[in-house]
A and B are shown apart, each in its own frame.
Chain A
Amino acid sequence: MAVLLIAEHNNKELRPFTLNAATAASQIDSDLHAVIIGQNSADAAKQLSELPVVKKVLSVEGAHYENFTAENFAPVIVKLAENYSHIVCSANTFGKNLMPRIAAHLDTSQVSDIIKVISPDTFLRPIYAGNAFATIKSNDAKKCVTIRPTSFDPCESTGGSAPIEKVDPSEEFSNTKFIKREEIKSDRPELGTARIVVSGGRGMQSGDNFKLITEIADKLGAAIGASRAAVDAGYISNDHQVGQTGKVVVPDLYIAIGISGAIQHLAGMKESKVIVAINKDGEAPIFSVADYGLEADLFEAIPQFMDELNKLNTIQK
């Protein structure tokens, strides 16, 4: 039986991580179908049909799908699941919210947040915020799997021409009503998907001093992170928190400034490709995961860092 990928989109276009999830799903089985559920989402469905790894697109439209409510999505997918061996979607807030609702209806034990497909029934996934990796084999007849998108490359986005098949909508779930969505409008990238993250810790000493972090982040086109200590001290709001109890980030470059490197912080960033630590305590645990460590007073180092960045002819964004 084929694999069914649940596409994430905004009714106009696919959300980028759908491409990463498609790569992972196609590694489970090359016979990959994708379902897109939304309202007036034909353009996004067409985009989905152009992914070369997708062999067939199922399109479901209805006014009650406009806001991606899991209670409305789950029944459609549960019905479609009859014809599939695996149901797959990305493990961001969309998939995390939706997939367990499908899995429970199918009486399947979900495998969450996988970082590798070992075989069609065996997967690698981080546990304890990445402090251990577990190899998990699913013995359920139907498997529900969510994918950590940053662990898979996006698939090709053009060249395919899969047929698009209409599927009847399910009934509306009347006990959940969407009110509004406030997207954070920022010139900066999202913390979870940014290529570069600049984070400050308790060493910043005050919320005002976080301006220094902001300047560097602006220069690099980076997202701003923080340690739990900095959040608890009130220097910055907790949506910036990186760590086991905050966000797990995997950027190309992570710059930790004035962060000692508590276990729970390391858990949220140590998979970053390149890690820089700037700290005046040479014994700080953050240096144990840093590719480049600079033992220095951050209040001297940050202005110098800005000066050096300003000297560069070009900066990758």
Chain B
Amino acid sequence: MKILVAVKRVIDYNVQIRVKEDGTGVVTDNVKMSTNPPDDNAIEEAVKIKEAGKATEVVAVTVGEEKAQETVRKALAVGADRGIHVKVDGILEPLAVSKILQKIVDKEKPDLVFMGKQAIDDDCNQTGQMLSALLNWPQATFASKIDVKDNKLEVTREIDEGLETIEINVPAIVTCDLRLNEPRYASLPNIMKAKKKPIEEIAATDLGVDVSPRLEQIKVEEPPKRKAGIKVANVAELVQKLKNEAKVI
């Protein structure tokens, strides 16, 4: 079984987001970037399945600018075998990314495609579902547990009401929840070894996919600020305020 894992480079989750004054987006210059957190879970799960002898190869793919390759390199350092970097500049919508990934799937013919359930920058939560629609493959979104059984997967999904278990036939798409596993850290020797693993570079323009945006971002602004609160002196005052002023209890 061959597993393709898609990873995205995003602003690190610990960074305070700052909106650009001209309203065109958020500040990304000199800001720490990392792999989208649930994409780390996707890589971890693929590597674990390979370590359990149920997969033969893990290929990490990213779509994005030059520096996006760092996320593939990180995936290689925690156990992916090789990488693919589809190079493209500018804002890409999930629809465009899923069309690019469809081309990579056509070329690589993986049995499974894993990725995070959502990217923490645009918060769209679309790419995995869109890719499975384009491929007409089954989709197991928000996965918190994956059991590989021959040519099937049993996947437990996080849904609002609790948990749902489905069985999907391979080939299939799985989008990963943070609860799926605990991503490992790359050891220094593995980081060194990863530098020798191959990363294939592909220009998005060579894939024949129209990636032009369909959505217009009119402006990006700061969310409304909360009005300053007060400090209360003691618990009795707090409860009185909640009861009589805010009227929430």
Contacts and interface: CB of A to CB of B under 8 A. Distances in A.
Interface stretch (B104-112, B164-172, B196-204): B164-172
Interface string B161-182: 1111111110010000011000
A181 B122 contact: no
A112 interface: yes
Contacts of B218: 122, 135-137
Contacts of A93: 141-142, 157-160
A132 to B, nearest CB: 5
A143 B101 CA distance: 23
Given A175-B168, A305-B235, A292 B216 contact: no
A293 B232 contact: yes
A117 interface: no
Interface residues of A, number: 94
A275 B93 CA distance: 35
A101 B129 contact: yes
Interface centre among A74, A102, A135, A275 (most CB of B within 10 A): A135
A276 B217 CA distance: 35
Interface stretch (B1-9, B14-22, B52-60, B62-70): B14-22
A246 B164 contact: no
A103 B232 CA distance: 50
Interface string B14-32: 1111010000001000000
A153 to B, nearest CB: 18
A292 B241 contact: yes
A218 interface: no
A103 B95 contact: yes
A292 B124 contact: no
A276 B232 CA distance: 10
A296 B246 CA distance: 21
Contacts of A196: 248-249
Contacts, number: 261
Contacts of A71: 132, 138-139
Contact of B242 (A138, A246, A292, A304): A292
A132 B26 contact: yes
B125 A112 contact: yes
B99 to A, nearest CB: 9
Interface in B37-64: 37-38
B13 interface: yes
B162 A294 contact: no
A127 B125 contact: no
A245 B168 contact: no
Interface string A117-136: 00000100011111111111
A173 interface: yes
A238 interface: yes
Interface centre among A122, A139, A182, A238 (most CB of B within 10 A): A182
Nearest to B229: A291
A173 to B, nearest CB: 7
A176 B130 CA distance: 16
Given A133-B221, A180-B164, A294 B133 contact: no
Interface string A247-284: 00000110000000011100000110111100000100
Contact of A178 (B14, B98, B166, B238): B166
Interface of A: 67, 69-71, 74, 91-94, 96-105, 107-113, 122, 126-140, 173-184, 190, 192, 196, 220, 238-239, 241, 244-246, 252-253, 262-264, 270-271, 273-276, 282, 287, 289-296, 301, 304-305, 307-309, 312, 315-316
Given A103-B130, A291-B229, 20 more contacts: A74-B133, A93-B141, A104-B131, A104-B133, A109-B213, A109-B215, A128-B121, A136-B218, A137-B215, A138-B216, A139-B214, A179-B166, A181-B164, A245-B178, A253-B246, A292-B238, A292-B246, A296-B235, A301-B235, A312-B239
Interface of B: 11, 13-17, 19, 26, 37-38, 93-95, 98, 120-134, 137-139, 141-142, 154, 157-169, 172, 178-179, 213-223, 226, 229-232, 234-236, 238-239, 241-243, 246, 248-249
Q: Which 4 residue pairs of A and B lie closest in terms of their CB atoms, listed nearest first?
A: A100-B129, A109-B214, A104-B133, A131-B17
